Amino acid sequence: MKSLALLCLSSSLLAVTTASAEDFGAGRDIALAENAAGLFGVAGPLAASTEPSVETGYRVADQSAGDQLLLASGLSAEYVTRAAGNHLDMMVFWPAENPTHMVACIEGKREEIAAGKFNPAIQSIDLANGEVRTLVRGMDRCDGIRTTAWGTILATEETDDGAAWEIIDPLGLDNAVISDREGGIASDPARLVRRPKLPVMAWEGLTVTPEGVVIGGDELRPGTAAADVDGGAMFKFVPAVAHGGGAIESLDQSPLADGRSYAMQVSCVKGKVQAGQGCEVGNALWVEIDPTNARADADAKGATGFYRPEDLHADPTFAGEGVRFCWTNTGNEGAGHYGEVLCAIDREPMATPQPDAEGKLAMTVKVNRFIEGDPELNSVDNLDFQPVTGILYVVEDHENGDVWACLPDGWDRDLKSDGCVRVLSVKDSSAEPTGFIFAPDGRTAYVSIQHSDDTNMPMVDDYATDDLIRITGFQAVAN
Protein backbone atom coordinates (compact mmCIF):
# COMPACT_ATOMS: atom_id res chain seq x y z
CA MET A 1 0.00 0.00 0.00
CA LYS A 2 0.95 3.68 -0.31
CA SER A 3 3.49 2.84 -3.04
CA LEU A 4 3.48 6.19 -4.92
CA ALA A 5 2.98 8.22 -1.76
CA LEU A 6 5.85 6.40 -0.05
CA LEU A 7 8.18 7.13 -2.96
CA CYS A 8 7.31 10.84 -2.64
CA LEU A 9 7.77 10.66 1.13
CA SER A 10 11.15 8.95 0.73
CA SER A 11 12.34 11.70 -1.62
CA SER A 12 11.21 14.36 0.81
CA LEU A 13 12.90 12.61 3.70
CA LEU A 14 16.19 12.46 1.83
CA ALA A 15 16.02 16.16 1.04
CA VAL A 16 14.88 17.22 4.48
CA THR A 17 17.24 15.03 6.46
CA THR A 18 20.18 16.15 4.36
CA ALA A 19 19.48 19.66 5.59
CA SER A 20 18.58 18.50 9.08
CA ALA A 21 20.83 15.52 9.65
CA GLU A 22 20.90 15.92 13.42
CA ASP A 23 17.18 15.18 13.82
CA PHE A 24 15.73 12.56 11.50
CA GLY A 25 12.43 12.57 13.39
CA ALA A 26 11.86 16.29 12.79
CA GLY A 27 12.61 15.73 9.11
CA ARG A 28 10.07 12.92 9.00
CA ASP A 29 7.39 15.20 10.45
CA ILE A 30 8.18 17.83 7.82
CA ALA A 31 7.99 15.21 5.08
CA LEU A 32 4.59 13.99 6.32
CA ALA A 33 3.26 17.56 6.14
CA GLU A 34 4.74 18.23 2.71
CA ASN A 35 3.16 15.07 1.32
CA ALA A 36 -0.15 15.39 3.14
CA ALA A 37 -2.22 15.63 -0.05
CA GLY A 38 -1.05 12.26 -1.31
CA LEU A 39 -0.83 10.53 2.06
CA PHE A 40 -3.83 11.91 3.94
CA GLY A 41 -6.07 13.56 1.35
CA VAL A 42 -5.81 17.03 2.91
CA ALA A 43 -3.97 19.83 1.11
CA GLY A 44 -2.02 21.02 4.10
CA PRO A 45 -2.17 20.01 7.78
CA LEU A 46 -2.05 22.37 10.74
CA ALA A 47 1.39 23.16 12.08
CA ALA A 48 0.06 23.84 15.59
CA SER A 49 -3.09 23.97 17.67
CA THR A 50 -5.21 27.08 17.63
CA GLU A 51 -4.60 29.70 20.29
CA PRO A 52 -7.23 29.45 23.05
CA SER A 53 -10.03 31.97 22.83
CA VAL A 54 -10.12 34.66 25.50
CA GLU A 55 -13.69 35.84 24.97
CA THR A 56 -16.33 35.17 27.61
CA GLY A 57 -19.51 33.66 26.28
CA TYR A 58 -17.57 32.72 23.15
CA ARG A 59 -20.42 30.66 21.71
CA VAL A 60 -22.74 33.30 20.30
CA ALA A 61 -25.68 33.14 17.93
CA ASP A 62 -24.09 34.94 14.97
CA GLN A 63 -20.97 32.77 14.71
CA SER A 64 -20.14 30.76 11.63
CA ALA A 65 -18.91 27.21 11.89
CA GLY A 66 -15.53 28.41 10.66
CA ASP A 67 -15.33 30.73 13.67
CA GLN A 68 -15.18 27.68 15.92
CA LEU A 69 -12.62 25.59 14.07
CA LEU A 70 -9.14 25.97 12.68
CA LEU A 71 -9.05 23.64 9.67
CA ALA A 72 -6.36 22.11 7.48
CA SER A 73 -6.01 23.69 4.05
CA GLY A 74 -8.75 22.56 1.68
CA LEU A 75 -11.32 21.79 4.37
CA SER A 76 -14.43 23.87 5.06
CA ALA A 77 -17.12 23.77 7.75
CA GLU A 78 -20.81 24.53 8.08
CA TYR A 79 -23.41 24.05 10.79
CA VAL A 80 -25.84 21.17 10.51
CA THR A 81 -27.59 22.42 13.65
CA ARG A 82 -26.95 24.51 16.76
CA ALA A 83 -29.95 23.02 18.55
CA ALA A 84 -28.72 19.52 19.40
CA GLY A 85 -28.89 18.60 23.07
CA ASN A 86 -26.07 19.63 25.39
CA HIS A 87 -23.27 17.00 25.55
CA LEU A 88 -23.97 15.77 22.02
CA ASP A 89 -21.51 12.92 21.65
CA MET A 90 -21.26 9.84 19.48
CA MET A 91 -23.61 9.38 16.57
CA VAL A 92 -24.51 7.06 13.71
CA PHE A 93 -26.01 7.55 10.28
CA TRP A 94 -29.57 6.38 9.74
CA PRO A 95 -30.34 4.43 7.76
CA ALA A 96 -26.85 3.00 7.44
CA GLU A 97 -27.18 2.97 3.65
CA ASN A 98 -28.12 6.26 1.98
CA PRO A 99 -28.60 8.04 5.32
CA THR A 100 -31.04 10.90 5.79
CA HIS A 101 -30.49 11.46 9.52
CA MET A 102 -27.96 11.29 12.27
CA VAL A 103 -29.06 9.43 15.40
CA ALA A 104 -27.01 10.72 18.30
CA CYS A 105 -26.36 10.15 21.98
CA ILE A 106 -26.73 13.06 24.39
CA GLU A 107 -24.24 12.39 27.19
CA GLY A 108 -26.12 14.24 29.90
CA LYS A 109 -26.81 12.72 33.26
CA ARG A 110 -30.31 11.41 33.96
CA GLU A 111 -32.28 14.23 35.52
CA GLU A 112 -35.74 15.73 35.55
CA ILE A 113 -35.25 18.96 33.61
CA ALA A 114 -38.85 20.13 33.94
CA ALA A 115 -41.95 18.86 35.68
CA GLY A 116 -42.35 15.24 34.61
CA LYS A 117 -39.75 15.53 31.81
CA PHE A 118 -36.39 13.74 31.73
CA ASN A 119 -33.31 14.86 29.85
CA PRO A 120 -32.95 14.12 26.14
CA ALA A 121 -30.94 10.92 25.70
CA ILE A 122 -31.14 10.06 22.00
CA GLN A 123 -31.96 12.55 19.25
CA SER A 124 -32.33 12.45 15.49
CA ILE A 125 -30.87 15.21 13.34
CA ASP A 126 -32.09 15.69 9.78
CA LEU A 127 -28.99 15.97 7.59
CA ALA A 128 -30.82 18.12 5.03
CA ASN A 129 -32.38 20.79 7.24
CA GLY A 130 -30.88 20.26 10.70
CA GLU A 131 -34.22 19.53 12.40
CA VAL A 132 -33.68 17.98 15.83
CA ARG A 133 -36.15 15.55 17.41
CA THR A 134 -35.86 13.82 20.77
CA LEU A 135 -36.43 10.10 20.36
CA VAL A 136 -35.62 8.80 23.87
CA ARG A 137 -35.51 10.37 27.34
CA GLY A 138 -34.25 9.08 30.67
CA MET A 139 -30.97 7.32 29.89
CA ASP A 140 -27.96 8.18 32.03
CA ARG A 141 -25.11 9.58 29.91
CA CYS A 142 -25.88 7.95 26.57
CA ASP A 143 -22.60 7.72 24.69
CA GLY A 144 -21.67 4.63 22.65
CA ILE A 145 -24.03 4.08 19.72
CA ARG A 146 -23.82 1.84 16.63
CA THR A 147 -26.06 0.47 13.89
CA THR A 148 -26.36 -3.30 13.43
CA ALA A 149 -26.41 -5.53 10.38
CA TRP A 150 -30.02 -6.52 11.19
CA GLY A 151 -31.40 -2.99 11.03
CA THR A 152 -31.37 -1.79 14.64
CA ILE A 153 -29.38 0.65 16.78
CA LEU A 154 -27.46 -0.31 19.93
CA ALA A 155 -27.14 2.63 22.35
CA THR A 156 -25.22 2.44 25.62
CA GLU A 157 -24.64 4.46 28.80
CA GLU A 158 -21.31 5.77 30.07
CA THR A 159 -21.86 5.49 33.82
CA ASP A 160 -20.82 2.92 36.44
CA ASP A 161 -24.09 0.98 36.04
CA GLY A 162 -24.35 1.68 32.33
CA ALA A 163 -26.76 -0.49 30.35
CA ALA A 164 -27.16 -1.37 26.68
CA TRP A 165 -30.42 -0.59 24.87
CA GLU A 166 -31.52 -1.80 21.44
CA ILE A 167 -33.81 0.21 19.17
CA ILE A 168 -35.78 -0.80 16.10
CA ASP A 169 -37.42 1.79 13.82
CA PRO A 170 -35.65 4.65 15.65
CA LEU A 171 -37.34 7.45 13.69
CA GLY A 172 -40.69 6.01 14.80
CA LEU A 173 -39.85 6.93 18.40
CA ASP A 174 -41.19 10.18 19.79
CA ASN A 175 -40.05 11.16 23.28
CA ALA A 176 -40.08 7.57 24.51
CA VAL A 177 -39.33 7.51 28.23
CA ILE A 178 -37.20 5.05 30.14
CA SER A 179 -38.89 5.16 33.52
CA ASP A 180 -36.83 2.37 35.13
CA ARG A 181 -33.28 1.93 33.84
CA GLU A 182 -32.41 -1.08 35.96
CA GLY A 183 -35.68 -2.83 35.26
CA GLY A 184 -35.54 -2.00 31.56
CA ILE A 185 -38.97 -0.38 31.52
CA ALA A 186 -39.63 1.97 28.61
CA SER A 187 -42.80 3.55 27.28
CA ASP A 188 -42.38 2.02 23.80
CA PRO A 189 -41.18 -1.55 24.43
CA ALA A 190 -41.89 -2.64 20.87
CA ARG A 191 -39.15 -0.26 19.68
CA LEU A 192 -36.86 0.07 22.72
CA VAL A 193 -35.57 -2.68 25.05
CA ARG A 194 -32.71 -3.15 27.47
CA ARG A 195 -30.22 -5.94 26.71
CA PRO A 196 -29.28 -7.41 30.14
CA LYS A 197 -27.02 -10.12 28.69
CA LEU A 198 -24.55 -7.42 27.68
CA PRO A 199 -22.11 -6.20 30.36
CA VAL A 200 -23.11 -3.50 32.85
CA MET A 201 -20.25 -0.98 32.75
CA ALA A 202 -19.33 2.55 31.68
CA TRP A 203 -19.79 2.03 27.95
CA GLU A 204 -18.30 4.26 25.31
CA GLY A 205 -16.78 2.85 22.14
CA LEU A 206 -18.00 -0.45 20.69
CA THR A 207 -18.27 -2.45 17.54
CA VAL A 208 -20.97 -4.90 16.46
CA THR A 209 -20.09 -7.64 13.99
CA PRO A 210 -22.59 -8.90 11.37
CA GLU A 211 -23.05 -12.07 13.46
CA GLY A 212 -23.96 -10.12 16.60
CA VAL A 213 -20.68 -10.10 18.54
CA VAL A 214 -20.29 -6.87 20.53
CA ILE A 215 -16.86 -5.66 21.68
CA GLY A 216 -16.45 -2.62 23.93
CA GLY A 217 -14.47 -1.16 26.81
CA ASP A 218 -15.23 0.00 30.35
CA GLU A 219 -14.33 3.69 30.73
CA LEU A 220 -12.57 3.38 34.10
CA ARG A 221 -9.34 4.90 35.39
CA PRO A 222 -7.00 2.59 37.38
CA GLY A 223 -7.14 3.12 41.12
CA THR A 224 -10.56 4.76 41.02
CA ALA A 225 -12.38 2.62 43.59
CA ALA A 226 -9.31 1.97 45.73
CA ALA A 227 -5.54 1.97 45.45
CA ASP A 228 -4.14 -0.59 43.01
CA VAL A 229 -7.56 -1.52 41.56
CA ASP A 230 -7.33 -2.24 37.84
CA GLY A 231 -8.61 0.11 35.17
CA GLY A 232 -11.31 -0.68 32.64
CA ALA A 233 -11.36 -4.05 30.92
CA MET A 234 -12.29 -4.91 27.36
CA PHE A 235 -15.48 -6.97 27.07
CA LYS A 236 -17.09 -9.17 24.43
CA PHE A 237 -20.66 -10.42 24.09
CA VAL A 238 -21.16 -13.55 21.98
CA PRO A 239 -24.76 -14.24 20.88
CA ALA A 240 -26.30 -17.62 21.55
CA VAL A 241 -27.41 -17.69 17.90
CA ALA A 242 -25.50 -15.81 15.23
CA HIS A 243 -27.46 -13.44 13.02
CA GLY A 244 -28.07 -15.09 9.68
CA GLY A 245 -28.47 -11.98 7.54
CA GLY A 246 -31.12 -9.47 6.59
CA ALA A 247 -33.24 -7.10 8.65
CA ILE A 248 -35.33 -8.32 11.57
CA GLU A 249 -39.01 -7.47 12.03
CA SER A 250 -39.13 -7.35 15.83
CA LEU A 251 -36.62 -6.97 18.65
CA ASP A 252 -37.16 -10.51 19.93
CA GLN A 253 -35.45 -11.71 16.71
CA SER A 254 -32.23 -9.85 17.57
CA PRO A 255 -29.06 -11.85 18.31
CA LEU A 256 -28.51 -9.49 21.26
CA ALA A 257 -31.44 -11.06 23.11
CA ASP A 258 -29.35 -13.94 24.46
CA GLY A 259 -25.71 -14.85 24.79
CA ARG A 260 -22.67 -14.78 27.06
CA SER A 261 -20.23 -12.06 28.07
CA TYR A 262 -16.46 -12.23 28.47
CA ALA A 263 -13.54 -10.05 29.53
CA MET A 264 -10.15 -9.95 27.82
CA GLN A 265 -7.09 -11.25 29.64
CA VAL A 266 -3.66 -10.57 28.14
CA SER A 267 -0.94 -13.08 29.04
CA CYS A 268 2.72 -12.25 29.59
CA VAL A 269 4.02 -15.79 29.07
CA LYS A 270 3.98 -17.94 25.95
CA GLY A 271 1.91 -21.09 26.16
CA LYS A 272 0.16 -20.39 29.44
CA VAL A 273 -1.83 -17.72 31.21
CA GLN A 274 0.16 -15.41 33.44
CA ALA A 275 -1.61 -12.09 33.83
CA GLY A 276 -1.25 -9.00 36.01
CA GLN A 277 0.06 -5.46 35.97
CA GLY A 278 2.37 -4.96 33.02
CA CYS A 279 0.52 -7.44 30.80
CA GLU A 280 -1.23 -5.02 28.45
CA VAL A 281 -0.07 -6.17 25.01
CA GLY A 282 0.51 -9.57 23.45
CA ASN A 283 -1.57 -12.73 23.19
CA ALA A 284 -4.92 -12.69 24.94
CA LEU A 285 -7.95 -14.81 25.65
CA TRP A 286 -11.53 -14.26 26.82
CA VAL A 287 -12.73 -15.29 30.29
CA GLU A 288 -16.47 -15.56 30.97
CA ILE A 289 -17.93 -13.04 33.41
CA ASP A 290 -21.29 -12.23 34.94
CA PRO A 291 -22.66 -9.34 32.82
CA THR A 292 -24.68 -7.94 35.72
CA ASN A 293 -21.46 -7.59 37.76
CA ALA A 294 -19.07 -7.16 34.85
CA ARG A 295 -16.53 -4.74 36.33
CA ALA A 296 -15.97 -6.56 39.65
CA ASP A 297 -16.09 -10.03 38.08
CA ALA A 298 -13.55 -9.08 35.41
CA ASP A 299 -11.21 -7.73 38.09
CA ALA A 300 -11.61 -10.85 40.24
CA LYS A 301 -10.89 -13.17 37.30
CA GLY A 302 -7.71 -11.38 36.25
CA ALA A 303 -8.94 -9.47 33.20
CA THR A 304 -6.50 -6.87 31.91
CA GLY A 305 -7.21 -3.29 32.97
CA PHE A 306 -6.49 -0.22 30.85
CA TYR A 307 -6.48 3.55 31.44
CA ARG A 308 -10.02 4.67 30.60
CA PRO A 309 -10.80 2.77 27.39
CA GLU A 310 -13.04 5.11 25.42
CA ASP A 311 -14.02 5.02 21.74
CA LEU A 312 -13.58 1.81 19.74
CA HIS A 313 -14.14 0.93 16.09
CA ALA A 314 -13.51 -2.06 13.87
CA ASP A 315 -11.10 -1.50 10.99
CA PRO A 316 -13.24 -1.61 7.81
CA THR A 317 -10.17 -2.23 5.63
CA PHE A 318 -8.94 -5.27 7.57
CA ALA A 319 -8.80 -8.28 5.24
CA GLY A 320 -7.46 -10.93 7.60
CA GLU A 321 -9.12 -13.61 9.66
CA GLY A 322 -11.61 -12.36 12.26
CA VAL A 323 -11.94 -8.70 13.24
CA ARG A 324 -9.41 -5.95 13.94
CA PHE A 325 -10.58 -3.33 16.42
CA CYS A 326 -8.82 -0.28 17.81
CA TRP A 327 -9.58 1.77 20.90
CA THR A 328 -8.30 4.79 22.80
CA ASN A 329 -6.88 4.73 26.32
CA THR A 330 -7.26 8.37 27.32
CA GLY A 331 -4.53 8.69 29.94
CA ASN A 332 -3.94 12.00 31.69
CA GLU A 333 -1.74 14.60 30.04
CA GLY A 334 -1.27 16.52 33.29
CA ALA A 335 0.38 13.43 34.75
CA GLY A 336 2.55 12.96 31.69
CA HIS A 337 0.43 9.92 30.75
CA TYR A 338 -0.39 11.07 27.23
CA GLY A 339 -2.75 8.30 26.23
CA GLU A 340 -2.58 5.82 23.37
CA VAL A 341 -4.45 3.83 20.75
CA LEU A 342 -4.30 0.05 20.98
CA CYS A 343 -5.42 -2.37 18.29
CA ALA A 344 -6.32 -6.04 18.60
CA ILE A 345 -7.12 -8.83 16.18
CA ASP A 346 -9.62 -11.44 17.35
CA ARG A 347 -9.26 -14.37 14.96
CA GLU A 348 -12.44 -16.11 16.17
CA PRO A 349 -14.89 -13.49 17.44
CA MET A 350 -17.85 -15.91 17.51
CA ALA A 351 -15.99 -18.68 19.35
CA THR A 352 -17.22 -19.52 22.85
CA PRO A 353 -14.05 -20.12 24.90
CA GLN A 354 -13.82 -23.72 26.10
CA PRO A 355 -10.93 -25.18 28.16
CA ASP A 356 -8.84 -27.92 26.58
CA ALA A 357 -7.86 -31.21 28.25
CA GLU A 358 -5.40 -29.35 30.47
CA GLY A 359 -7.93 -26.67 31.40
CA LYS A 360 -6.38 -24.02 29.18
CA LEU A 361 -8.32 -21.55 27.05
CA ALA A 362 -7.27 -20.69 23.50
CA MET A 363 -5.57 -17.33 23.02
CA THR A 364 -7.38 -16.06 19.95
CA VAL A 365 -6.51 -12.37 20.36
CA LYS A 366 -3.32 -10.39 19.79
CA VAL A 367 -3.04 -6.83 21.16
CA ASN A 368 -0.47 -4.19 20.18
CA ARG A 369 0.05 -0.45 20.60
CA PHE A 370 -0.72 1.50 17.43
CA ILE A 371 -0.32 5.15 18.47
CA GLU A 372 1.52 6.50 21.50
CA GLY A 373 0.63 9.98 22.74
CA ASP A 374 3.03 12.85 23.29
CA PRO A 375 2.95 16.47 24.55
CA GLU A 376 1.01 17.55 21.43
CA LEU A 377 -1.13 14.49 20.62
CA ASN A 378 -2.69 13.49 23.93
CA SER A 379 -5.80 12.66 25.96
CA VAL A 380 -7.14 10.69 22.99
CA ASP A 381 -10.86 9.92 23.18
CA ASN A 382 -12.93 9.50 20.01
CA LEU A 383 -11.71 7.94 16.79
CA ASP A 384 -13.00 6.85 13.40
CA PHE A 385 -11.56 5.06 10.39
CA GLN A 386 -11.88 6.94 7.12
CA PRO A 387 -13.66 4.64 4.66
CA VAL A 388 -11.58 3.42 1.71
CA THR A 389 -8.22 4.61 3.08
CA GLY A 390 -8.13 3.07 6.55
CA ILE A 391 -6.63 6.31 7.91
CA LEU A 392 -7.50 6.57 11.60
CA TYR A 393 -8.76 9.95 12.80
CA VAL A 394 -8.09 10.48 16.51
CA VAL A 395 -9.78 13.15 18.65
CA GLU A 396 -8.36 14.79 21.79
CA ASP A 397 -10.51 15.00 24.93
CA HIS A 398 -9.82 18.50 26.26
CA GLU A 399 -10.56 22.17 25.59
CA ASN A 400 -9.15 23.43 22.28
CA GLY A 401 -8.77 19.78 21.36
CA ASP A 402 -7.27 18.70 18.05
CA VAL A 403 -8.20 16.00 15.54
CA TRP A 404 -5.31 14.04 14.07
CA ALA A 405 -5.15 11.85 10.95
CA CYS A 406 -2.93 8.77 11.39
CA LEU A 407 -1.74 6.53 8.58
CA PRO A 408 -2.18 2.75 8.62
CA ASP A 409 0.91 0.66 9.27
CA GLY A 410 2.87 0.15 6.08
CA TRP A 411 5.74 -2.10 5.03
CA ASP A 412 8.14 -1.17 7.80
CA ARG A 413 9.03 -3.60 10.57
CA ASP A 414 6.94 -2.03 13.33
CA LEU A 415 3.21 -2.46 14.04
CA LYS A 416 2.43 1.22 14.50
CA SER A 417 0.91 3.99 12.44
CA ASP A 418 3.33 5.36 9.86
CA GLY A 419 2.67 8.90 11.09
CA CYS A 420 0.06 11.48 12.09
CA VAL A 421 -0.76 15.06 11.12
CA ARG A 422 -3.10 17.59 12.75
CA VAL A 423 -6.14 18.46 10.63
CA LEU A 424 -8.54 20.30 12.95
CA SER A 425 -8.36 22.38 16.13
CA VAL A 426 -11.19 23.82 18.23
CA LYS A 427 -10.85 27.56 18.87
CA ASP A 428 -13.36 27.78 21.71
CA SER A 429 -11.54 27.40 25.03
CA SER A 430 -14.79 26.30 26.68
CA ALA A 431 -15.29 23.43 24.22
CA GLU A 432 -13.86 20.19 22.91
CA PRO A 433 -14.40 18.09 19.76
CA THR A 434 -16.16 14.75 20.06
CA GLY A 435 -18.33 12.25 18.19
CA PHE A 436 -16.22 12.56 15.03
CA ILE A 437 -17.63 10.37 12.25
CA PHE A 438 -17.10 10.01 8.50
CA ALA A 439 -19.87 9.73 5.95
CA PRO A 440 -19.77 6.47 3.97
CA ASP A 441 -17.88 8.08 1.05
CA GLY A 442 -15.04 9.24 3.32
CA ARG A 443 -15.16 12.79 1.93
CA THR A 444 -17.39 14.41 4.56
CA ALA A 445 -17.08 14.23 8.33
CA TYR A 446 -19.22 15.42 11.24
CA VAL A 447 -18.05 16.62 14.66
CA SER A 448 -19.79 17.79 17.80
CA ILE A 449 -18.50 20.87 19.60
CA GLN A 450 -19.22 19.79 23.16
CA HIS A 451 -19.24 21.63 26.51
CA SER A 452 -19.26 25.00 24.77
CA ASP A 453 -20.40 28.03 26.76
CA ASP A 454 -24.17 28.42 26.28
CA THR A 455 -24.43 31.83 27.96
CA ASN A 456 -25.68 33.61 24.86
CA MET A 457 -27.61 30.73 23.31
CA PRO A 458 -31.31 30.03 23.87
CA MET A 459 -32.48 26.86 25.60
CA VAL A 460 -34.22 24.34 23.34
CA ASP A 461 -36.87 22.07 24.88
CA ASP A 462 -35.79 23.14 28.40
CA TYR A 463 -32.23 21.99 27.71
CA ALA A 464 -28.94 23.61 26.73
CA THR A 465 -27.52 22.93 23.29
CA ASP A 466 -24.42 21.91 21.36
CA ASP A 467 -23.31 22.39 17.76
CA LEU A 468 -23.05 19.72 15.07
CA ILE A 469 -20.66 20.73 12.29
CA ARG A 470 -20.22 19.22 8.84
CA ILE A 471 -16.68 19.30 7.41
CA THR A 472 -16.09 18.83 3.69
CA GLY A 473 -13.03 18.68 1.46
CA PHE A 474 -11.49 15.37 2.54
CA GLN A 475 -10.10 13.26 -0.28
CA ALA A 476 -10.47 9.51 0.14
CA VAL A 477 -7.14 8.67 -1.43
CA ALA A 478 -6.62 4.97 -2.08
CA ASN A 479 -3.01 4.50 -0.96
**pLDDT at 146 > cutoff 90:** yes
Helix or strand or coil: residue 426? strand
Taking only the tens place, the pLDDT of each residue in 383-426 is: 999 999 999 999 998 888 999 999 999 999 999 999 999 999 99
Average pLDDT over residues 94-107: 96
| Spatial distance between the Cα atoms of 11 and 440, rounded to a whole number of angstroms | 33
**pLDDT at 363 > cutoff 80:** yes
Please give the model's pTM, rounded to 2 decimal places. 0.93
31: left (phi over 0), alpha (psi -120 to 50) or beta: alpha
pLDDT band at 479 (very low <50, low <70, confident <90, very high): low
Taking only the tens place, the pLDDT of each residue in 221-237 is: 998 878 888 899 999 99
Average pLDDT over residues 208-218: 98
Please name the residues in contact with 326: beta carbons below 8 A apart, sequence gap of 6 or more.
312, 313, 315, 341, 342, 343, 344, 370, 383, 385, 392
Question: What's the mean per-residue pLDDT of the chain?
Answer: 91
Rounded to 5°, the CA angle 439-442-444 comes to: 60
C-alpha Rg value of the chain to the nearest Å: 22
| Spatial distance between the Cα atoms of 342 and 131, rounded to a whole number of angstroms | 37
**pLDDT at 92 > cutoff 60:** yes
Average pLDDT over residues 307-334: 96
Taking only the tens place, the pLDDT of each residue in 246-305 is: 999 999 999 999 999 999 999 887 766 777 788 899 999 999 999 999 999 999 999 999
Strand order in the sheet with 465-472: 76-85, 465-472, 444-450, 432-438
More confident residue, 354 or 198: 198
| Spatial distance between the Cα atoms of 15 and 379, rounded to a whole number of angstroms | 33
| Spatial distance between the Cα atoms of 107 and 291, rounded to a whole number of angstroms | 22
ω into residue 189 within 30 of 0, thus cis?
no
Polymer length in residues for the chain = 479
| Spatial distance between the Cα atoms of 180 and 150, rounded to a whole number of angstroms | 26
Helix (H) or strand (E) segment spanning residue 17: helix 3-19
Contact yes or no for 238/352 (Cβ under 8 A): yes
Burial 234-268 (b: 16+ CB within 10 A, else e): bbbbbbeeebeeeebeebeebbbbebbbbbbbbbb
Three-state secondary structure of 457-474 = CCCECCECEEEEEEEECC
pLDDT at 455: 76
Cα 451 to chain center, whole Å? 18
